């Protein structure tokens, strides 16, 4: 079944023909799988390349089409709203860099093949005080302030994250990307800027590594890697610089493994897929881990990775969870910026919020931590995967 799933996505992005579905294909389960991976929109294009006799029945096909049309509609709304935001940035003299999905979607054969739940934009830290007024004028409400970005929402579905930095100070990549804006180059607009293709790819790899090492990641980011590999191969790409910077980030092994999997799964060339199936960077345990996760991973993966960070010490794990550091707490309690001595009070308030609003999340987390034999084996598996990918050295 996995071969058929991958062939649908391969057909969509490479304009090729998918293999025929297995005789026992369950299209309802397939639809749910693609939805969990935020790829039902992409799969629809692959399905439409099947012979009519091999396609799902009308009800299931309509579900796939509805997913595609939803993404298409959201993409159009995002484009319209963010053009308005960027026009305000231009008027106010604010330098800005659209990030991640906003760029990647335009490298797909069609932008609506790549779903995007939010739009990320990087600004200079000194311009942050201007942003709330601009966003309010554009109809956005501030919903969350983070260590490195602020989340704004315009009802009903447009979400924008305005970044002051690419990573929070608690991540291992913060220092490397701290001056990312200074390395950008100008575009046609007077204040819009872009990363070089090498720096853009380095950011994507680091961002993926962060998620992979925390809650895990699903299929869509791997498909993004394949799309970027194709794009970079067709453009002037400084491989020496790219690999040198990967070494600084300690992400060379991770990149080699992930790009090898992307080529194995999505290359239109069967010889390339076979080569990457046989090479040293292919690992079935890592592939299985990606396939079992949803787009943004899972609570099970998140909890397992975090218990591994404290070497299985439950006391230390619970201490860190119940009493997070002040950088983490400032995300939820802005008053700590001016009154850090209120941290103990905020710990209590956070605990009350969790009991009221995140009881199911906590229950799922506790099932993993108070592990039975099956969960213990999963925790050990994730520790192996982090070691294989080299991410155990950068926690």
List, run by run, the mean pLDDT of 10-residue segments along the chain (395 residues): 94 94 94 94 96 94 94 91 94 95 94 90 94 95 87 91 92 94 87 95 96 91 96 92 96 95 87 55 80 82 77 81 85 83 91 82 74 70 88 75
Residue 320 has what pLDDT? Answer: 84
41 and 63 in contact (C-beta within 8 Å)? no
Cα separation values, 216 from 105, 153, 186, 264, 286, Å: 22, 25, 34, 20, 11
Count CB atoms within 10 A of the CB of residue 174: 15
Neighbour count for residue 382 (Cβ, 10 Å): 21
Token pair recorded at residue 342? 């209120």
H/E segment holding residue 163? strand 158-163
State residue 299's pLDDT score. 77
Angle between helices 219-233 and 252-266 (to 10 degrees): 90
Strands (E), 267-394: none
Specify the pLDDT at position 32: 96
For residue 59, what pLDDT is reported? 95
CATH code of the domain occupying 69-195: 3.30.460.40
Q: What is the pLDDT of residue 374?
A: 58
Q: Alpha-carbon distance 222 to 11, whole Å?
A: 15
What 8-state DSSP symbol labels residue 297? B
Span(s) in the chain for CATH 3.30.460.40: 69-195
pTM: 0.88
The confidence score (pLDDT) of residue 277 equals 56
Is the torsion defined by CA of 171, 175, 181, 184 positive or negative? Answer: negative
pLDDT in the model for residue 337? 82
Cβ neighbours of 134 (radius 10 Å): 18
């Amino acid at each position: 079944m996995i071969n058929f799933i991958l062939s649908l996505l391969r057909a969509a992005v490479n304009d090729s023909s998918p293999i025929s579905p297995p005789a026992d294909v369950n299209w309802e389960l397939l639809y749910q799988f693609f939805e969990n991976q935020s790829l039902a929109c992409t799969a629809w294009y692959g399905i439409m390349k099947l012979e009519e006799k091999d396609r799902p029945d009308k009800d299931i096909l309509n579900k796939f089409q509805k997913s595609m049309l939803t993404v298409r509609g959201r993409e159009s709304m995002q484009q319209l709203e963010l053009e308005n935001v960027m026009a305000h940035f231009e008027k106010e003299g604010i330098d800005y860099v659209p990030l991640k999905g906003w760029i990647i979607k335009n490298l797909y054969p069609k932008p609506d093949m790549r779903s995007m739940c939010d739009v990320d934009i990087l600004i200079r830290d000194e311009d942050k005080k201007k942003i709330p007024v601009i966003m309010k004028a554009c109809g956005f409400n501030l919903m969350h302030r983070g260590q490195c970005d602020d989340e704004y929402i315009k009802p009903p579905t447009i979400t924008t994250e305005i970044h002051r930095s690419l990573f929070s100070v608690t991540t291992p990549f913060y220092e490397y990307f701290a001056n990312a804006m200074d390395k950008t180059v100008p575009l046609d607009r007077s204040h819009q800027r872009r990363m070089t293709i090498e720096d853009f790819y380095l950011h994507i790899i680091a961002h993926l590594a962060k998620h992979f090492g925390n809650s895990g990641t699903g299929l869509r980011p791997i498909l993004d890697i394949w799309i970027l590999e194709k794009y970079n191969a067709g453009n002037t790409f400084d491989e020496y610089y790219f690999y040198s910077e990967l070494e600084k980030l300690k992400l060379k092994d991770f990149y080699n493994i992930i790009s090898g999997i992307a080529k194995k799964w999505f290359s239109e060339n069967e010889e390339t897929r076979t080569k990457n199936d046989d090479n040293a960077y292919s690992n079935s345990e890592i592939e299985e881990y990606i396939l079992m996760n949803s787009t943004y991973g899972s609570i099970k993966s998140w909890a397992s990775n975090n218990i591994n960070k404290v070497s299985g010490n439950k006391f230390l794990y619970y201490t860190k969870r119940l009493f997070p550091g002040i950088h983490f707490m400032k995300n939820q309690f802005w008053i700590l910026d001016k009154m850090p001595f209120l941290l103990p009070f905020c710990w209590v308030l956070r605990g009350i919020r969790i009991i009221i609003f995140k009881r199911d999340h906590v229950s799922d987390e506790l099932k993993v931590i108070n592990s039975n034999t099956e969960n213990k084996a999963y925790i050990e598996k994730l520790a192996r995967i982090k070691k294989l990918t080299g991410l155990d050295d950068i926690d």
